[in-house]
Amino acid sequence: MKTNVCEILGVDVPILAFTHCRDVVAAVTKAGGFGVLGAAGHTPEQLDVDLKWITDEVAGKPFGVDIIVPAKYEGSDEGGKSAADLRAMIPQGHRDFLENMMDRYGVPEMPKSDGLNVMGGDGEPPMTYSQAVPLMDVAFSHPIKLIVNALGPPPPDMIARAHEQGILVGALAGKKSHAVRHVAAGVDIIIAQGHEAGGHTGEIGTMVLVPEIVDAVHPIPVLAAGGIGTGRQVAASLALGAQGVWCGSVWLTTLEAETHPAVKDKFLAATSSDTLRSRSRTGKPARQLRSAWTDEWEGADSPGTLPMPLQPMLISEASRRVDRAALNGENVGAVKLSNYFVGQIVGQMNESISATRVVENMISEYVDVMDRLESLNDQ
């Protein structure tokens, strides 16, 4: 399983784990893979704490950070808008629809003492360049090996700062044209993310997308993403020309994962048909678990979703209310609404095991696949 990606990242196996949980980052890195901490939901202070912890935990082994810096969002053409200006753009009809939804499902309000969420408070607007800059500042102050932009081409200052410090830059691509644009901007590793993937994803399947991008950007290394969680899928990815895999969903049901308990239970019971691409969380199409939440936003009475970052600002407090009320499973309405980003691989995520064991299982199954293919040559 040794590829050029192993050499440039300094890992034993080319399995990269995207996760919002620092424990998963550390576990995968220590198992010989490469953990990447998703920082979009962190405050700079939280990110600093987590990166210090990971650095101590992995004892010199490499890891990375993933940040969302979309190229296009509401106000981006004007250099960005303040949080107050953006909040003023949210129609009252959308606020009323959301509050009515909370009432119908019996989701209580947050306690007054709970404070404001970073996405809905007075800080920088979520999923914007202004929010990403402080996160980049923190990331570059730690010994990371790779920084990735999850949505669109990395901004020039991210690439310049990374290369000045000897840090590699990665970017996700859902089309060949995206990948070509990323390479022209100076990106070192392309993550070809197929339609099956969780989160923000395009419309081209992994089987078609990966070889198309590999051919378009050679010799830049490509990682395959979307529908990958087993050794067979790793072997298929390498056969398509990828030099490694980028996995996200498969870690959400691990023992270390901080996935909401109600959502984790849903993941473990879900089939590969139980996801859909919806704008209901971020304002851009993102694959997630189908739930009452997505059904409501896709329903006939819905006012429609708002563009990024208005949609996440609109739903921020409501999402926290749902998470809080669903925590012990007693609020049936909140449990029905609860969901999260996940790919179609969720149909194979049927037990909660350690992240280390996930890596080990991938390697073991990959070896079995290669042995089976080799045996075909002997027939």
Do residue 263 and residue 231 come from a single domain? no
| Residue 44 and residue 164 in one domain | yes
Edge-to-edge strand order for the sheet containing 286-289? 199-200, 286-289, 275-278
| DSSP bridge partners of 287 | 199, 277
243 and 188 housed in the same domain: yes
Same domain, residue pair 236 and 372: yes
Q: How far apart are the first and last CA of the chain?
A: 24
156 and 114 share a domain? no
Distance (Å, whole) CA 247 – CA 113? 37
Whether the Cβ atoms of residue 201 and residue 285 lie closer than 8 Å to each other:
yes
The answer to whether residue 79 is domain-embedded is: no
Give this prediction's pTM: 0.94
Place of tokens 């939280």: 46
What total of structural domains would you count in the chain? 2
17 forms bridges with which residues in the sheet? 35, 247
Residue 245: closest CA among 289, 197, 293: 197
Residue with tokens 């102050």: 141
Residue 346 lies in a domain: no
- State the CATH number of the domain containing residue 247: 3.20.20.70
- Establish if 88 belongs to a structural domain: no
In a domain, residue 87? The reply is no
Per-position pLDDT tens, the chain of length 379: 899 999 999 999 999 999 999 999 999 999 999 999 999 999 999 999 999 999 999 999 999 999 998 888 888 888 888 899 999 999 999 999 999 999 999 999 998 765 444 444 457 888 899 999 999 999 999 999 999 999 989 999 999 999 999 999 999 999 999 999 999 999 999 999 999 999 999 999 999 999 999 999 999 999 999 999 999 999 999 999 999 999 999 999 999 999 999 999 999 999 999 999 999 999 999 999 999 999 999 999 999 999 999 999 999 999 999 999 999 999 999 999 999 999 999 999 999 999 999 999 999 999 999 999 989 987 7
- Identify the domain containing residue 301 by its residue range: 98-123+259-337
Give the C-alpha separation, 246 to 125, whole Å: 28
Ranges of beta strands (E only) in the chain are 15-19, 34-38, 63-67, 146-149, 168-173, 189-193, 199-200, 222-225, 244-247, 275-278, 286-289
**Judgement on whether residues 58 and 144 belong to the same structural domain of the protein:** yes
